[in-house]
Amino acid sequence: MNTRLFVSRLLGHFSLCVFAAAFLLLGANYSAAADPESLTSLDTAFYRVQSFDTKAGAKPVAINHLGIETKQAADGGYLITAALEGYPAHAAGLERGDIVLHIDGADFHPVLSLNPRAMEGEFRPHSALAELTYKRGATVLTARVEPVFESLYDSYRSATLNSVLSFAAGNKVIGYVRLWALTRETGDFVTLSQLLQSLHDTDGIVLDLRNSYGYLASEHIDLFRASRSDFLSISLVGKPNSNAIEPEQSRLLPARQRDDSLRAYRKPIAILIDSS
C-alpha cells in the first residue's frame, strides 16, 4: 500500500501542518484532474471531472453508480481503489482492494453496466437491485446493491459528511473525516465548518485526503489557522502540456479577509495521503 501517514505535532509547529495539508490537497485536486482531455464517457473519472468543472448555472450529469473508484485488475475485473462512505458498495460491505467481477451475471464495467447508453449521453435511473460478484483475496463473494442516480459532485460531498466519526485511542478521543471533496460553495463551507466544530472536543483529528478532489480556498485553511499573519503564499507550476494548471500560475489562495469569528482547530492532526 502506498499510503503514508504524516503526524504533525502542532505545539508551536501548526503552520507546517497547515502548509502540508494545503499542498497535499492541491496535489490531490490536480493529479485527479490531470489531462482531462484523455478521459472518455467510458471513464468514471470523466463524470467526476465534469461534475466539479461544470460552469456556473449548468447542472452536473447524474449517472447510476455504486460509489466506488476502480481500475482494471491485471487478471480481469475491476479493482476497487476507494469506496464512498454511505454509498451502495460501501453499505454492502465492499472494500478497497476487492475486485468486482460480474453484475447480474455479466462482466462488470464501472460505467456501462449501469448506464448502457452512456456513449450516447443518455442516463436514466436504474431502480432495480443488482447482484455483484466480487473477489476478496482468493474468496469469491456476492452482494445485493441498489445503485444511486446522482452526480459525482453530490456524491463526493455527501460521502465527506458520511465519513465523520470519533474513536477512542488509549485515554484520547480521535476524530476522523475523509475529505472526499472540497468546494467553494458557501453552503458547503458552512457545513464543513460545522462538521469540524463537532470535532473540537477531540484530542486530535485524522484528515484522510486519499482520492480527494475539488478546489482549495483560503477559507478552508482558516478552519485550521487562528491567524494569517504568517500565511504562506502558495503557487503551483503545471506540468508541461498539462491543461490542469497554467504554467507559472499566480497565487492560488488569494488573500481574502479572514472571518475572525471562526474557531480554528489547534490540536494535533494526522494527514493520510496516497500516491494519487
Residues 217 and 195 in one domain: yes
Mean per-residue pLDDT of the chain:
77
Q: Rounded to the nearest 5°, which phi and psi values hold at 124?
A: -130, 145
Residues 89 and 118 in one domain: yes
| Each residue's pLDDT expressed in tens, for the chain with a length of 276 residues | 333 333 333 333 343 344 344 434 444 443 344 455 677 888 888 888 888 776 655 688 999 999 999 999 999 999 999 999 999 999 999 999 999 999 999 999 999 999 999 999 999 999 899 999 999 999 999 999 999 999 998 999 899 999 999 999 999 999 999 989 887 788 788 888 888 888 888 999 998 888 888 776 777 777 776 665 545 444 444 444 444 444 333 344 445 555 556 666 778 888 888 765
Residue at a domain's end among 150, 175, 198: 150
The CA distance from 141 to 36, in Å, is 34
Residues 121 and 169 in one domain: no
For residue 1, the model assigns a pLDDT of 39
Residue 65, burial from CB neighbour count under 10 angstroms (0-12, 13-18, 19+):
buried
Closest-CA residue to 93 (of 149, 143, 160): 143
Residues 173 and 211 in one domain: yes
Residues 105 and 124 in one domain: yes
Q: Per the domain annotation, does 137 fall within a domain?
A: yes
Q: Per the domain annotation, does 67 fall within a domain?
A: yes
In tens, the pLDDT along 244-267 reads 444 333 344 445 555 556 666 778
Residues 132 and 167 in one domain: no
Rg of the Cα atoms in the chain: 20
Domain count, the chain: 2
Residue at a domain's end among 123, 150, 177: 150
Q: Per the domain annotation, does 52 fall within a domain?
A: no
Residues 195 and 231 in one domain: yes
For residue 53, the model assigns a pLDDT of 76
The CA distance from 230 to 263, in Å, is 18
Residue at a domain's end among 108, 126, 150: 150
- Which CATH number belongs to the domain containing residue 137 in this structure? 2.30.42.10
The dihedral formed by the CA atoms of 184, 19, 191 and 256, expressed in degrees to the nearest 10: -50
Residues 15 and 71 in one domain: no
Residues 121 and 213 in one domain: no
Q: Grid coordinates 475539488 are at which residue?
A: 214
CA angle 47, 51, 54 (to 5 degrees): 125
Please state the three-class secondary structure of the chain as a single string: CCCEEEEECCCCCHHHHHHHHHHHHHHHHHHHCCCHHHCCCCCHHHHHHHHHHCCCCCCCCCEEECCEEEEECCCCCEEEEEECCCCHHHHCCCCCCCEEEEECCEECCCCCCCCCCHHHCCCCCCCCCEEEEEEECCEEEEEEECCEEECHHHHHHHHHHHCCEEEEECCEEEEEEECCEECCCHHHHHHHHHHHHCCCCCCEEEEECCCCEECCCHHHHHCCCCCCCCCCCCCCCCCCCCCCCCCCCCCCCCCCCCCCCCCCCCCCEEEEECCC
Q: Domain containing 141: what range?
A: 62-150
Q: Per the domain annotation, does 258 fall within a domain?
A: yes
Q: Per the domain annotation, does 40 fall within a domain?
A: no
Q: Per the domain annotation, does 128 fall within a domain?
A: yes
Neighbours of 151 (CB within 10 A): 20
Residues 129 and 170 in one domain: no
Residues 145 and 166 in one domain: no
Residues 99 and 161 in one domain: no
User: Between β-strands 68-72 and 78-83, what pairing exists: parallel, antiparallel or unpaired?
Assistant: antiparallel
